[in-house]
Structure 1
Amino acid sequence: MKIVIAGGTGFVGQHLVDHFSSKDDEIIILTRNPNKYRSDHNIHYIEWLTPNGQPELEIGYADVFINLAGESLNSGRWTEERKERILESRMTTTRELIRIMGAMQQPPHTFINASAVGYYGTSETDIFTEQTQQPGNDFLAEVCDMWEKEVDEAQSLDIRVVKTRFGLILDGHDGALPKIALPYQLFAGGPLGSGEQWMSWIHIYDVVKGYDWVIEHSEIEGPVNFTAPNPKRNKEFGKVLGQALKRPYWIPAPSFAIRTALGDMSTLLLEGQYVYPKVLLESGYTFHFPTLREALEEVYQ
């Protein structure tokens, strides 16, 4: 199988590249700076999003396109300028990928585009599945909604479109978890705000195996929640995290302090949603880490 990945040098992308290359699939990674990387026997780097880049001519053909590209949500305060970059980076890369696929003599059969559970907005009472059609009304929901509508344009090329809505991805070295775990490692962990907000999470291993599953099961299309079937409220998540790290859980972080420090970005910590992976489960996927305790023990063992 030949897979093209935009964002293949990022957190999730690196895990997917390692997985698929280990199966001896051919991987094409789209990057602005291909000279920074060394191609392997089945991993190749192709220039894109530059004046000189013509990736459609170098790719030839491909079975699957995966889009993980976009400005990080958790690497700085959300100023108005930053919000614009967060949205525009996603729209630009998606449009370019659709253009590339349309310019190919034979487009890929599948286009998988990363999205986020932020699509649903926030709630302490509702349970969201892929059948929830109304997006939320906050910034993240608006970004995800606009992004996913752009992704759907690929359907005009007769391509199967899958939109993977990520929850909090658990990995000990990258992503948001190391930042969440830092206060615990300093013996200062505790609930954030009220502690009642839901945290819908997934182990990085299930992200990788889930992508494999989605590619192999052609009946899956549209939105797919990439979250484990057992979300936790923040106060429960923190207790399990403290136990996994063998650290106390005792110092609460008040909402006003977090909002003052992070501004709108505080939404990522203080508000959440209960998201259930209905599509993956009903298609027969078995989670390798269905419970938070199992997931965090594996991360920190």
Structure 2
Amino acid sequence: MNIVVTGGTGFVGSKLTEELVQSGHHVYILTRNPDGHENTASTTFVGWLKDEFSPWEELPSVDAIVNLAGESLNSGRWTEEKKQSIMQSRIDATEGVLELIQKLKTKPEALINASAVGYYGQSKTKTFTEETVEPGDDFLANVVVEWEKRAAKAADLGVRTAYIRFGIVLGEQGALPKMAIPYKLMIGGRIGSGEQWISWIHVDDVVGLIRYAIEHSHVKGPVNGTAPNPKRNKDFGQTLGDVINRPHWIPAPAFALKTALGEMSIMLLGGQSVVPKKAIEYGYEFKYPELEPALQSILD
């Protein structure tokens, strides 16, 4: 298949590209700087989101588009300007994908759009599935609502559309290396109360779930990209400490994190228990349904 990927050089995107290429597909990576990358027999970099680029003229018939583009949530304190940039990056990328779909001579069969479990808001007591239709009311929930609203327009163009609501993606990059630092320094422990939920997923399962969504025509709408067994922060930390043979004993107080990070502290002090009900019903088999083997595969 010919598969277009935005955000194809990022943490998840690079893993996805590698998997798709190994499976015999050709990947077209949309980028603002195509000259900064070298094409191969199986990957082609195509310019987009600048006036001088017309990707619809360069692409062949496309089978699917995977939209992973968007500014990192943890790349700096959430000032009002930063929050606007986080929101706008996702809107611009998704609207760029919609423009591409509209201008392609042949529409792709599917759009697989990144999303996030932040849709559900924060809760220490509730468990969320895709059947939860009422979003949260914080910044992250608002971002996801606007993000998915744009992506949903692809369905109006006759393109099967799925939104993979990512949890915390565990891998050699992303959040896990930062989470491991306190433990490696022998100062790891619960964050805040430790009761907040972490809905996590191994990067191999993110890639596997995206590929599954591409290849199976019954996959559509919101799909929780989380492992079946979320963990409370205190239990996640204890497991992390056990895997790297470090103690889990020094708590990080909530007030200190709020002072240091401001509104961004919600990423550490908030959380939600999210279960991948639809992924399981669709028949996707998780490689890492349990946390300890997932961490061992990355950190051992």
Kindly report which structure 2 residues correspond to 1:106-255, keeping only aligned pairs within 5 A, or say none.
106-171=106-171, 173-255=172-254
Between the aligned partners of 2:35 and 2:157, the Cα distance in structure 1 is 31
Q: Which residue of 1 aligns with 2:60?
A: 60
Matched residue of 1:261: which SS?
helix
User: What CA RMSD, in Å, does the superposition of the two structures yield over aligned residues?
Assistant: 0.7
Alignment partners' CA distance in 2, 1:95 and 1:67? 11
Shift of 1:178: 0.7
What is the CA-CA distance between 1:156 and the residue it aligns to? 1.5
**Residue identity in the other structure for 1:257:** A
Aligned to 2:20: 20
Cα offset for 1:216? Answer: 1.7
SS in 1 for 2:152: helix
Partner of 1:93: 93
Aligned residue in 2 for 1:45: 45
Structure 2 counterpart of 1:140, one-letter code: L
Secondary structure of residue in 1 paired with 2:5: strand
Amino acid at match of 2:246: R
Question: Which residue type is aligned with residue 193 of structure 1?
Answer: G
Q: Which residue of 2 aligns with 1:29?
A: 29
For residues 9 and 286 of structure 1, what CA distance do their matches in structure 2 show? 26
Q: 1:13 Cα deviation (Å)? A: 0.2
How far apart in 2 are the matches of 1:169 and 1:138?
Answer: 21
TM-score if structure 2 supplies the norm length?
Answer: 0.99
| Residue in structure 2 matched with residue 78 of structure 1 by the alignment | 78
Deviation of the 1:217 alpha carbon: 1.5
Alpha-carbon shift at residue 46 of structure 1 (Å): 0.5
Q: Which residue of 2 aligns with 1:5?
A: 5
Q: Following the alignment from structure 2 to structure 1, what is the Cα–Cα distance between the partners of residues 230 and 102?
A: 39
Letter in 1 for 2:143: V
Superposed displacement of residue 144, structure 1:
0.2
Counterpart of 1:280 in structure 2 is: 279
Within 2, Cα distance between the matches of 1:99 and 1:216? Answer: 23
How far is the alpha carbon of 1:10 from its aligned partner? 0.6
Instruction: Please state if 1:259 is matched with 2:258.
Output: yes
Q: Give the superposition deviation at 1:208.
A: 1.0
Q: Distance in 2 between matches of 1:206 and 1:155?
A: 25
Shift of 1:60: 2.5
Percent identity, aligned pairs only? 50
Counterpart Cα distance in 1 of 2:51 and 2:214:
32
In 1: Cα distance, 2:96 partner to 2:52 partner: 14
User: Can you list the C-alpha shifts for 1:24-62, whole angstroms capped at 9, x where unaligned?
Assistant: 201000001111111000100011111210000001210
What SS does the corresponding residue of 1:285 show, helix, strand or coil?
Answer: coil
Q: CA deviation at 1:215?
A: 1.4
Tell me the amino acid that sits aligned with residue 295 of structure 2: L
| Distance (Å, rounded) in 2 between the aligned partners of 1:149 and 1:234 | 31
* CA deviation vs aligned residue, 1:58-90 (integer Å, no higher than 9, x gap): 012100001000110011100000000000110
Supply the distance in 2 between the matched residues of 1:145 and 1:6 (Cα, whole angstroms).
20
Corresponding residue SS for 1:112: strand
Alpha-carbon distance in structure 2 between the residues aligned to 1:252 and 1:157: 50
Structure 1 position 93, deviation (Å): 0.8
Secondary structure of residue in 2 paired with 1:165: strand
For 2:18, the aligned partner's letter is: D
Which residue in the other structure is 1:105 paired with? 105
Q: Which amino acid aligns with 1:297?
A: Q
Q: Distance in 2 between matches of 1:156 and 1:296?
A: 40
| Equivalent residue letter for 2:73 | L
Q: Which amino acid aligns with 1:182?
A: I
